Amino acid sequence: MLPPELSRSATALAAAIRSGHVRARDAADHFLARIARHDGAVHAFLHLDPVQVRADADAIDARIARGDRTGALLGVPVAIKDNLCTRGLPTTCASQILVGYTPPYDAHVIERIKAAGGVILGKTNLDEFAMGASTENSSFGASRNPHDLKRVPGGSSGGSAAAVAAGFAPLALGSDTGGSVRQPAALCGIVGHRPTYGAVSRYGLIAFASSLDQVGPMALNVEDCTLLMDVIAGHDERDSTSRAGAFDGVGARRDGALTGLRIGVPAEYHSDGVDAEVRAAVQRVEQLAVAAGARLVPLALPLTEYAIPTYYLVVTSEASSNLARFDGVRYGPRDEAGDLAGMYGATRRRFGDEVKRRIMLGTYALSSGYYDAYYKKALQVRQRIGEEFAKAFEQCDLVLGPTTPTPAFPLGEKSDDPVQMYLCDVFTAPAPLAGLPALSIPCGRSKSGLPIGVQLQGPSGADARLLAVARALERALALDLSPLESPRGA
């Protein structure tokens, strides 16, 4: 077993492995043992190859024995959301239509993790094709929140969030299209960062909505989240949306003094729809920031209420286009059914209900006679949302508010009401529409012990500042950021 200080800090673990005080194999064995002991209750992982994990860890130890101690993640296990391509390891997007698919290549972020000495631990559960806010839409069964196994871990990166919170992995990757890194991070009590659009390559990320998708790091604390962000960010010519200079590393700017910081507080983020305990926890963060020298700036972001309908028109339209390739000819298994239309239908029958719902909504919004009324109008509102944020950042340095309206909700509570499920993204959807960076850090707990997250949003390219401020707030909050000894309610 690893010492507690190493099991809760990827940064410290990498340093201990680099110095020879701990073997990479010991770290791998520690996390594999926790997964074997507790993941039956949590269901964070879909694919795990312990033999390969140990072999990769042994290879790191052999490198160190030869005197090669390079790599920011040397020997650190990293859990990977199962919509990121991994050579030799299944990638299913939690969908029946990709069962049996093993990519012949690694996603860009996987290449970077391996180059930094990280060990790919396994593939985590998600809502099918990342379409959901609870991880209940997985074709292989829901994941559960380690803080209360009767509740959701959030989504769509619920498996990654649950894995970090349960101590199965010190680091994880998720993807964030409308909040799928930040929302589960908030519900599971960890840190999750959505980078500026284009700061992290999407090469090897199976597309959901291409103008919104971003890969993001997840960790127990801001320092570790920053460590992983430093590794995965950077220009990649294979991704046409990758932006050179969108992120230049934050290692040298981690102090994050709050003195003089202008924090925007939108009135819309303190509406009646926000749980009272969430409001109180966020207000405490505001008070701590002021005590440390920051200044609160009242804001109005009236287009917040239009973010959800705008997001769900854009995202379903792009999903309809992206998933059209799964036809049994180019992608997906071929189910013969007499003629071409029958084959298409038989193949696409493998999609789950939520994926089918979004494909149909998007196809409708893009269809002749409705394009101008729905998709084009959504693009216009999206532009206005971006302009509204730009004006807000003339008055403040970042925007602070709740990540989610409520703590984690019970499994099954919203499954039959898609609209209520979609409203879980009310505070997380605006940033992707505007291409902005945003992150969630833990800021407290409800009376029943459920984690609460606070969200920071910044101007495009302000990832370094967001992470630095988040670390300062994390220190001021002084919460216990240790992983759970065991899932609660097992």
pLDDT surpasses 90 at 309 = yes
What is each CA distance from 87 to 31, 69, 114, 252, 371, in whole angstroms? Answer: 22, 24, 12, 33, 39
Q: Which residues of 237-271 are buried (b: 16+ CB within 10 A; e: fewer)?
A: eebebbbeebbeebeeeeebebeebebbbbebbee
More confident residue, 29 or 252: 29
pLDDT at 285: 98
Whether residue 117 is predicted with pLDDT greater than 80 in this model: the reply is yes
* Distance (Å, whole) CA 83 – CA 204: 8
Question: According to CATH, what is the number of the domain 4-263+395-477?
Answer: 3.90.1300.10
Q: Residue 490: pLDDT above 70?
A: no
Q: What is the pLDDT of residues 258-273, one digit of tens each?
A: 999 999 999 999 888 8
pLDDT, tens only, 311-351: 999 999 999 999 999 988 888 888 777 788 888 888 899 99
Write down the catalytic residue from 7, 9, 139, 180. 180
Average pLDDT estimate for 194-210? 97
pLDDT value of position 192: 98
Give me the pLDDT at residue 252, please. Answer: 41
Q: What are phi and psi of 103, to 5 degrees?
A: -65, 150
Average pLDDT, the chain: 95
Has 180 been annotated as catalytic? yes
Measure the CA–CA gap between 452 and 285, rounded to whole angstroms.
Answer: 11
Residues 456-468: tens digit of each pLDDT: 999 999 999 999 9
Which among 134, 138, 139, 156 is annotated as catalytic?
Answer: 156
Average pLDDT over residues 295-307: 97
Q: How far apart (Å, rounded) are the C-alpha atoms in residues 30 and 276?
A: 39
Domain ranges, ordered by start, for the chain = 4-263+395-477
Report which of residues 418 and 122 the model is more confident about. Answer: 122
Q: Catalytic: which of 9, 81, 134, 414?
A: 81
The token pair at 43 is 């269901």
pLDDT score for 256? 54
Clarify whether 156 is annotated catalytic: yes
CB-neighbour burial class of residue 226 (10 A; exposed 0-12, middle 13-18, buried 19+):
buried
Cβ–Cβ under 8 Å, residues 51 and 61: no
Per-residue pLDDT reduced to its tens digit, 351-388: 999 999 999 999 999 999 999 999 999 999 999 999 99
% pLDDT > 90, the chain: 88
114 is catalytic: no
Q: What is the pLDDT of residue 303?
A: 97
Give the whole-number percent of the chain exceeding pLDDT 70: 98
**157-187 residue pLDDT tens:** 999 999 999 999 999 999 999 999 999 999 9
| Prediction pTM value | 0.96
What mean pLDDT is predicted for residues 42-60?
A: 98
pLDDT digits (tens, 9 = 90+) for 239-255: 999 988 766 555 444 45
